[in-house]
Structure 1
Amino acid sequence: MVTLRLSPLALSRSRFALSPLAETLGTALALARPHPAPWYAAWRARHLPAFTAALDADPFARGLLGLLSSTTWLPCSVAIPPPDGLRTTLAAELAAVRAVPDAVFRAELETSRAHPHPRYATGHRHHHDLAWLTGHDWAARTADLLHALWSAHIAAEWPRRRALLERDIAHRAGLLAVRGWPGALEQMSRHSTWEGPDAIRFGRHPGPDRVIGDIGLLLVPVSLATGTWLCEGPAGRYAQVYPARGAATTATADDPDRALERLLGTGRATLLRALRQPATSTELAARLRQSLGTVGGHLAVLRDAGLVVGVRVGRRVVYRRTERGEQLVGDGDGTAQRRTPRG
């Protein structure tokens, strides 16, 4: 497992960020790999025909995504730290991808090829050679491919996906204020653990440890991902990508509001939807124009059902939806050094 070691200053400067590129990469991996997670199988079935047709028409795309989906080392030419925090745009990230020279691009793919994933590389031929890597300007072709994937599979869903990612960040920011970084990173990934006051261990595969400099670490949530990966850029810039809470809501029913009301009743369904952002019972009562007693009764039922949980912050109790609650509501939509380990 890889260990990230952070100085006290690095901890104080670590922050959350968004990355449309990481979202695109995670989506591509979800489409390229067999045996999808059950919670996005329906979404994948809808998108897979167009995705497969695009790969069949382009040997470069088929070879590249075959390699990326069957390695434990994502090349840093596509796994880069988002440059502008929460305001990062896909255009800015793809510009960085395009700037990678051919020699560097190929060397990174050779490293990825040398680290086949024990689960996904079985029976996959694309990681054995790079015969599909013909011509030149590979980084530019990769940027064009990623942009096409974004347009075909993500752009229309991005507002809802972004809302899901922002909810995850808001949730973890609240934990950070109360419990510090170990609390904020709790259950970020089943393969990530906080070790002592200044180190994070993540992934299941061996790799060199990293020392995070005073610039700090970026934490980047994505939907449709089941693992984590580390992005590394120049000047010691690092970002850890992790699966956002509630990502199972990517595959939703055609009319989830009516189904939710039939299941919970109108009042409790309305309150559960209102907890898109964590809130106190007083805030919920004011927002919904209901009495505190009514809101408290609904919260008690939802809490007993495991759909919401209350976290004490000072004198207040802030309620948020649990992962089960996120899945039920389904309003959020709906993976330097040149080797980037992935869990």
Structure 2
Amino acid sequence: MTLLRLSPRALSRSRFALSPMAETLGAMRVLANPCRDPWLASWHERHAGPFRARVAADRFTAGLVRLLTTTGWLPDIVALPPIGGLRTTMAQELAPARRFSDAEVRTQLQESDRHSETPTGLDWLDGANWADRGAELMGAIWHDHVLPDWPRRRALLEREVTYRAGLVAVYGWSNALGSMSRRSSWVGEDAIRFSNRPQADRIVGSEGMLFVPVTLTRGTWLCEVPPDTYALVYPARGAAEAGGGPSPDRVRALERLVGAVRARILLELARPATTTELATLLDVSLGTAGGHIAVLRDAGLIEGTRVGRRVVYRRTDDGDRLAG
């Protein structure tokens, strides 16, 4: 068992962040395999072919992708903590990933290969400038396969942060962390178990740690910059649910009853969300989303709760019955 130990100050300063790099790595893992996530099915169908063609066209790319999608120990070139909070950009994450020397990259990849499901060695590691080439690959996958879908993904991730932040505000970090992943749990009053492997415990610095959701239904990993900066990447709560919901016939019936946009808002509010998150998800203006929210609220179908400077909406019991 491996623990992340946090002082009271570190715990109080821990926060959420988003990571395009982590999202790209997650997308790579999905595209390299048959799709098991219903909400990603149409995206996977469009992108899996071009992605696999890219991989097959270059030996270095094929070797790196195989390693990144089979290892239990990610190299630092793709697993550094994000530095921009909820507004982290891919450019911000690629810059430090490019700074590793070839010797450092080789050491990282050798460790990853040792923890791979099927270790095959690094005979594909030809030429030089491996950190830069790896960053170019991650940037290309982000641009071609993730960025076009980023508004939808970001909306889901922001809703996850809204949900977890609400739990933290009311119940504290231990409750918020409890259901983040199957592999992570709170231990005592000052530690998080993040791995069953017997490794040295990590001591989180006084600035706290980052919690980074990604749109996967499974998979957790730790990003770190020694000696004390850490980010825990975990599956967003809404991703597993996004492919479900009422049958198409019931959705159409609800749309006829209350209108298409209001029906979608009611269905989406199976998970709490802000006006901005709903507007992004539905691809409508803030004013349009706000107008429909006001009608649903006046009808007693949804209610809002202020969390900091945001108002988070959720369905009432009547809203649940109508949506169902």
Letter in 2 for 1:110: Q
Residue equivalent to 2:101? 101
Residue equivalent to 1:178? 170
- Is contact 1:43-1:251 (8 Å) kept? no
Residue equivalent to 2:184? 192
Residue equivalent to 2:278? none
Residue equivalent to 2:122? 130
Change in CA separation of 1:158 and 1:263 when aligned onto 2, cut-off 3 Å? same
Pair 1:233 & 2:225 matched: yes
Cα deviation for residue 228 of structure 1 reads 0.6
SS in 1 for 2:78: coil
Gaps in structure 2 of 5+ consecutive residues: 276-289
Distance in 1 between residues matched to 2:146 and 2:19, nearest whole Å: 13
Residue equivalent to 2:63? 63
Residue equivalent to 1:219? 211
Residue equivalent to 1:166? 158
Cα deviation for residue 61 of structure 1 reads 0.9
Distance in 2 between residues matched to 1:211 and 1:136, nearest whole Å: 35
- Is contact 1:171-1:278 (8 Å) kept? no
Cα deviation for residue 39 of structure 1 reads 5.0
Residue equivalent to 1:142? 134
Residue equivalent to 1:336? none
Residue equivalent to 1:269? 263
Distance in 1 between residues matched to 2:268 and 2:171, nearest whole Å: 25
Change in CA separation of 1:291 and 1:206 when aligned onto 2, cut-off 3 Å? closer
Distance in 1 between residues matched to 2:99 and 2:205, nearest whole Å: 24
Residue equivalent to 2:76? 76
- Is contact 1:102-1:136 (8 Å) kept? yes
Distance in 2 between residues matched to 1:178 and 1:142, nearest whole Å: 42
CA deviation string 1:156-199 (max 9, x = no partner): 11111111111110111111110000122131112211112111
| Residues 181-330 of structure 1 mapped to structure 2, 5 A cutoff | 181-248=173-240, 260-262=251-253, 266-267=257-258, 269-273=263-267, 275=269, 277=273, 287-290=293-296, 292=298, 294-295=299-300, 298=301, 320=314
Cα deviation for residue 247 of structure 1 reads 1.4
Distance in 2 between residues matched to 1:53 and 1:87, nearest whole Å: 31
Distance in 1 between residues matched to 2:212 and 2:44, nearest whole Å: 22
Letter in 2 for 1:144: E
Report percent identity of matched pairs.
Answer: 50
After superposing the two structures, state which structure 1 stretch, 3-12 or 44-53, moved more: 44-53
Distance in 1 between residues matched to 2:132 and 2:292, nearest whole Å: 52
SS in 2 for 1:157: helix
With the length of structure 1 as denominator, give the TM-score of the two structures. 0.76
Distance in 1 between residues matched to 2:296 and 2:83, nearest whole Å: 43
Letter in 2 for 1:189: S
Letter in 2 for 1:182: S
SS in 2 for 1:200: strand
Cα deviation for residue 116 of structure 1 reads 2.3
Distance in 2 between residues matched to 1:36 and 1:270, nearest whole Å: 24
Letter in 2 for 1:66: R
Cα deviation for residue 272 of structure 1 reads 1.5
SS in 2 for 1:154: helix
With the length of structure 2 as denominator, give the TM-score of the two structures. 0.80
Change in CA separation of 1:274 and 1:241 when aligned onto 2, cut-off 3 Å? closer
- Is contact 2:17-2:211 (8 Å) kept? yes
Residue equivalent to 1:47? 47
SS in 1 for 2:224: strand
Residue equivalent to 1:88? 88
Cα deviation for residue 88 of structure 1 reads 1.2
Give aligned pairs, total.
Answer: 294
Letter in 2 for 1:17: A
Gaps in structure 1 of 5+ consecutive residues: 122-126, 300-307, 330-343
Distance in 2 between residues matched to 1:186 and 1:312, nearest whole Å: 24
Letter in 1 for 2:253: R
